Amino acid sequence: MDKHLRYAFYFLIVFGIAAIGLLYFYSNGVAVLNPKGMIGAKERDLLLLCTWTMLLVVIPVFLMTFFIAWKYRESNKNAEYKPDWAHNTLAEIIWWGFPLIIIVVLSVLTWNSCHELDPFKPIESNKKALRIQAVALQWKWLFIYPDQRIATVNYMQIPIDRPIDFEITADAPMNSFWIPELGGQVYAMAGMRSKLHLIADQRGSFRGCSSNISGKGFAGMSFMTHAGTEEEFEQWVSSSTGSMSLSYDEYDELVKPSEYVPPATYSLGESGLFDWIIMKYMKPMPETKRMAHDSVH
Amino acid sequence: MIAFIEYSDIFGKLDLNAFKHDAIEASVGISIILISIALVFFLTYKKLWVWLWRDWLTSLDHKKIGVMYLIVSAAMLFKGFVDAAMMRAQQAFSVGDSFGYLGAPHFQQIFTAHGTTMIFFVAMGMVFGLINILLPLQIGARDVAFPFLNNLSFWFFAVGAALLIVSLMIGNYAGTGWVSYPPLSGIKYSPGVGVDYWLWGIQIAGVGTLLSGVNFLVTIFKMRCPGMTLMKMPLFVWSVLNSLVLIVFAFPILTATLAMLSLDRMMGMHFFTSDFGGYPMMYVNLIWAWGHPEVYILVLPAFGIFSEVVATFSGKKLFGYTSMVWAMVAITFLSFIVWLHHFFTMGAGPKVNAFFGIMTMIIAVPTGVKVFNWLFTMFKGRVQFKTPMLWFLGFVIIFTIGGMDGVLMAIAPVDFQVHNSLFLVAHFHSMVIGGVLFGILAGFTYWFPKIFGFKLNEKYGGYAAFCWIFGFLFAFIPLYILGLMGATRRLNHYEAATGWQPLFIVAAIGVCIIAVGVFFQIVQLIVSIKEKDQNMDTTGDPWNGRTLEWSTTSPAPFYNFATIPEVSERDPFWTMKHHKQEAKYVEIHMPKNSPHGVFIGALSFTFSFGLIWNMWWLAIVSLIGMIVCLMIRLFDRDTEYAISPQEVEKFELANKHLN
């Protein structure tokens, strides 16, 4: 078996190089490692920093594993054999202590980063944030721009360098709203208002999706986020205002289950649509939707 | 009178549509039926029914129950592996205009069934199989504390697995993922019977697990042989003790959570619905308050197995026994205060997320200590690289990688970027395959001679281990990268523009390598049985073992020990070997067989089946039947039989003769 062990060692080295090579080869396509926004970039930096820190322990473990396994193999009669040696206080202090120090460092990082990158925390900027309300439906995303009075399905147009304030809910089973190139995700839940703050630094089209299983058409819930300049955004807004109006009746049609829905644009008929979608789950008793609507306004 | 009974009163929701399936599902169903028919035919032809009933199904011998656990789990492992291969095949080709060979509902049922099968019916089954066989032997006991309960637990486990298999043929399975979050798993979004199959399958199996947990906990506390204090127990027993404590605390949460979801679905209640004051987030909390301890329930015994294996094959005492014990106790405690890390993305505040993240990271410390202690057990030892040690080396590599990204994901802002992605999938497979499954396979190879009396073939065992380890790396390293590329889990289709396909194909190749490993394991078993006579373990101690199970013959006699051993230190058999004791035989009392476990198990099946299909009469009749069987058993005073000292001596001499 010693021969096997040596082969295993070679194989592992080759495999490690191959894995790193693959990572390099794909590095431009790896969204989380190549973010296009400040939040995503901070999350990436955190991920890498913690990985390097942990490698301080992990690499010695790997080396020790192979060194010890090789040196104290049965056929190596030159190696020392101490069958009853089973305790060494200093050694144990080292391997309780050293990982503990690393974990303490990581804990401080965790505490600080949890506060800094809290998805509910607004991004500080001298520009006024753009409000977008995202609703997970069966099986598409509805994006409402309340200030622009526009709604879109399965795509978003956003300006770069301007914070985006997302409010997120669902009129469907639980989903999770995630645009990897811009930053982390938050769940979309019926009757709940989640918040997420993201920003894009570069122009481009970024894939977004739902990451939580929500039924049959779940795989088709991906959408594109087009980040452009402020002018491009204004242009898009003015070209969209003439679109079909999203009334409650139209919403009723939209909310019906459908799969792989192509992108669409609406002008927003009802200003309180998002709040109404949340509130309709909050009633103690069933009501028709008109009554619910009237009680909101 | 008859005229007033409607179809639905008798058959509930069950109609011919339940039997309609697409070609792939039908072929699976038909092959299961054919295999069953062949098995029945074989048993009848060989006149083995009486043997099966008397020696196995109704047996209260913990070793036989353990073997039955292992057999059911092995069959379920095969099923779960086929599920995995089907998913990989789908994802390798379902790109862009091509939608693969599985429809979305079918694909979703497959990944739900895969997760449920692997956790409940493979990992749990195999862990309990080994616990059953080894635990009483390691503590020098003749049986478990409640032998009948043990048999009943097995049947509940088997019924849970059977319900999952039946769902392939009658009706369908849940497509909601293995933890089935509401509202998706509620009646509104999942009106079919699939979620009910899931619910009742794991409800029944879960009750079995809880009963086993109580049973073995009492066994450890009350039935250790004289002299074996807690701190002299073998490490495997310590690991199982911790795991059982987790079971006793965690499984009632599962039972209650599933019961509430069932009430939502059957009675129209609103524990977890989105409307009428229901609270789906409560379900998510509860299921993980069980679910997180559950992964430690599985991995702790694997740690115990590695502790035994490494010490034995290094010919050396386990390094840092006390440290190892306290590390496990720390893990046990911490595992109850980390459940929120499964849903950092649900919108809890930064302080809550930070607390649960930090608690999670702390678990890495005792776990790391264990790895160091194993390495230093090898240090200055004489390490023999038998198959169990190969599994151990694979475990160290894969588990360490998995542990590292586990700590990464404990940092909430990092988790936001990888949550529910394939990165997460790769992480927990590193833990469950690299940790739990490799541990079980190491233990299985190590203790095989104790169970069956002969050793497994080393050559094919080695091939299998290598295929598994490298197949695993090929199958899951791409998933880590895919996760970072934004690929989420449970996708039956993705766009070509994502550029994910090459990595999915690499992952599929990895599964093929693992399949070769599985093939070698089957070959290993067949070759070992064929060459049984050359690999016979005549000494009872094939590996130069250290613990009590090696002091009795292989396979262990039904009464385990002719004389209950007395121990005075750790690794008792290691010292015992050098000064032989004179045997003095006494009368032994052993439990009689009981058919009531089989009966109650079968009735729990019809009970669940009745509830799933709304055949209320069947559920009620079955429930009454279960209670009646239980009563009959409880009032039975004649449950033991005695073996006289002369008979024991006869058995022992026969075994000596064998030696």
The pairs formed by A235-241 with CB atoms below 8 angstroms and a separation of 24 or more are: A236/A157, A237/A145, A237/A148, A237/A150, A240/A148, A240/A150, A240/A152, A240/A265, A240/A267, A241/A149, A241/A150, A241/A267
Residues A151 and A254 in one domain: yes
Residues A61 and A143 in one domain: no
Predicted local confidence at residue B302, as pLDDT: 96
Q: Is A15 a domain residue?
A: no
Is residue A25 predicted with pLDDT exceeding 70? Answer: no
Cβ of A95 under 8 Å from any chain B Cβ? yes
- SS3 of A22-84: the string is HHHHCCCCCHHHCCCCHHHHHHHHHHHHHHHHHHHHHHHHHHHHHHHHHHCECCCCCCCCCCC
CATH number at residue B453: 1.20.210.10
Comparing CB atoms, the residue among A96, A103, A114 nearest residue B350 is A114
Q: Say if the Cβ atoms of B393 and A65 lie within 8 Å.
A: yes
Nearest CA in chain B to A119: B347
Cβ of A279 under 8 Å from any chain B Cβ? no
Is residue A11 predicted with pLDDT exceeding 90? Answer: no
Q: Say if the Cβ atoms of A54 and B407 lie within 8 Å.
A: yes
8 A C-beta contact, residue A12 and residue B400: no
Give the gap in angstroms from C-alpha B178 to the nearest C-alpha of chain A: 11
Residues A113 and A167 in one domain: no
**pLDDT tens digits for range A172-209:** 999 999 999 999 899 999 999 999 999 999 999 999 99
Q: Is A259 a domain residue?
A: yes
Global model pTM greater than 0.90: yes
Nearest CA in chain B to A40: B417
8 A C-beta contact, residue B173 and residue B260: no
8 A C-beta contact, residue B404 and residue A58: yes
Q: Is B22 a domain residue?
A: no
Q: Say if the Cβ atoms of B379 and A29 lie within 8 Å.
A: no
Q: Is B18 a domain residue?
A: no
8 A C-beta contact, residue B261 and residue B198: no
Q: Is A33 a domain residue?
A: no
Q: Is B35 a domain residue?
A: no
Residues A113 and A157 in one domain: no
Give the gap in angstroms from C-alpha A39 to the nearest C-alpha of chain B: 9
Residues on chain B touching A118 (C-beta within 8 angstroms): 349-350, 353
**pLDDT tens digits for range A56-75:** 888 999 999 999 999 999 88
Comparing CB atoms, the residue among B274, B368, B497 nearest residue A281 is B274
Residues on chain B touching A114 (C-beta within 8 angstroms): 350-351, 353-354, 357, 411-413
Q: Is A273 a domain residue?
A: yes
Is residue A249 predicted with pLDDT exceeding 50? Answer: yes
Domain boundary among A117, A147, A171: A117
Give the gap in angstroms from C-alpha B624 to the nearest C-alpha of chain A: 37
Touching B: A residues 116-135, CB under 8 Å? 116-121
Comparing CB atoms, the residue among B365, B397, B483 nearest residue A96 is B365
Which range marks the domain in which residue B569 is found?
Answer: 48-594+639-658
Residues on chain B touching A176 (C-beta within 8 angstroms): 345, 419-420
Domain boundary among A87, A117, A147: A117
Question: How many domains does chain B divide into?
Answer: 1
Q: Say if the Cβ atoms of B408 and A191 lie within 8 Å.
A: no
Q: What is the DSSP string of B268-287?
A: ---SS-SSTT--HHHHHHHH
Residues on chain A touching B478 (C-beta within 8 angstroms): 22
Q: Say if the Cβ atoms of B317 and A51 lie within 8 Å.
A: no
Q: Say if the Cβ atoms of A183 and B421 lie within 8 Å.
A: no
Is residue A92 predicted with pLDDT exceeding 50? Answer: yes
Is residue A5 predicted with pLDDT exceeding 80? Answer: no
User: Which of A63, A68, A225 has the highest number of chain B CBs within 10 A, making it the mutation to test binding with B?
Assistant: A68
Q: What is the C-alpha to C-alpha distance for residues A281 and B143, in angstroms, rounded to an integer? A: 55
Q: Is B10 a domain residue?
A: no
Touching B: A residues 214-253, CB under 8 Å? 214-220, 222
Cβ of A154 under 8 Å from any chain B Cβ? no
Predicted local confidence at residue A292, as pLDDT: 47
Q: Say if the Cβ atoms of B369 and A95 lie within 8 Å.
A: yes
Residues on chain B touching A115 (C-beta within 8 angstroms): 350-351, 354
8 A C-beta contact, residue B300 and residue B249: no
8 A C-beta contact, residue A141 and residue A135: yes
| Length of chain B as a residue count | 659
Give the gap in angstroms from C-alpha B190 to the nearest C-alpha of chain A: 9
ipTM above 0.85, yes or no: yes
Q: Is B455 a domain residue?
A: yes
Q: Say if the Cβ atoms of A69 and B385 lie within 8 Å.
A: yes
Q: Say if the Cβ atoms of B416 and A57 lie within 8 Å.
A: no
Residues on chain A touching B362 (C-beta within 8 angstroms): 103, 107
Cβ of A41 under 8 Å from any chain B Cβ? no
Comparing CB atoms, the residue among B383, B412, B415 nearest residue A72 is B383
Give me the sign of the Cα torsion angle A37, A43, A49, A51: negative
Q: Is A265 a domain residue?
A: yes
Residues A113 and A165 in one domain: no
Q: What is the C-alpha to C-alpha distance for residues B567 and B87, in angstroms, rounded to an integer? A: 51
Residues 6+ apart with CB under 8 A from B237: B135, B138, B139, B220, B304
Predicted local confidence at residue A294, as pLDDT: 47
Q: Is B41 a domain residue?
A: no
If pLDDT is split at 50, 70 and 90, which confidence band does A290 have?
Answer: very low
Cβ of A59 under 8 Å from any chain B Cβ? no
Q: Say if the Cβ atoms of A87 and B320 lie within 8 Å.
A: yes
Q: Is A31 a domain residue?
A: no
Q: Is A11 a domain residue?
A: no
Report mean pLDDT in 10-residue bins for chain B, 659 residues: 73 84 85 92 92 93 96 95 95 92 93 96 96 94 94 96 93 93 93 94 96 96 93 95 96 96 93 90 96 95 96 92 95 94 94 95 94 94 93 94 93 95 96 95 95 92 94 93 93 92 92 96 95 85 89 88 85 70 79 93 96 94 96 90 87 67
Question: How many domains does chain A divide into?
Answer: 2
Q: Is B628 a domain residue?
A: no
Residues A113 and A158 in one domain: no
Q: Say if the Cβ atoms of B400 and A190 lie within 8 Å.
A: no
Residues A66 and A194 in one domain: no
Q: Say if the Cβ atoms of A19 and B343 lie within 8 Å.
A: no
Give me the sign of the Cα torsion angle B494, B495, B496, B497: negative
Predicted local confidence at residue B418, as pLDDT: 95
Predicted local confidence at residue B595, as pLDDT: 93
Residues A50 and A134 in one domain: no
Q: Which residues pair with A264 in a beta bridge?
A: A153
Q: What is the C-alpha to C-alpha distance for residues A275 and A144, in angstroms, rounded to an integer? A: 11
Cβ of A42 under 8 Å from any chain B Cβ? yes
What's the mean pLDDT in A107-130?
94
User: Which of A213, A216, A221, A278 has the highest number of chain B CBs within 10 A, making it the mutation to test binding with B?
Assistant: A213
Cβ of A73 under 8 Å from any chain B Cβ? yes
Residue carrying structure tokens 């057990």:
B377
Q: Is B331 a domain residue?
A: yes
Residues A194 and A141 in one domain: yes
Residues A179 and A281 in one domain: yes
Comparing CB atoms, the residue among A86, A88, A114 nearest residue B413 is A114
Which range marks the domain in which residue A250 is found?
Answer: 130-296
Residues A113 and A170 in one domain: no
Residues A151 and A276 in one domain: yes
Give the gap in angstroms from C-alpha B333 to the nearest C-alpha of chain A: 17
Predicted local confidence at residue A295, as pLDDT: 46
Residues on chain B touching A280 (C-beta within 8 angstroms): 275
Q: Is A191 a domain residue?
A: yes
Give the gap in angstroms from C-alpha A236 to the nearest C-alpha of chain B: 24
Residue carrying structure tokens 């209320």:
B616
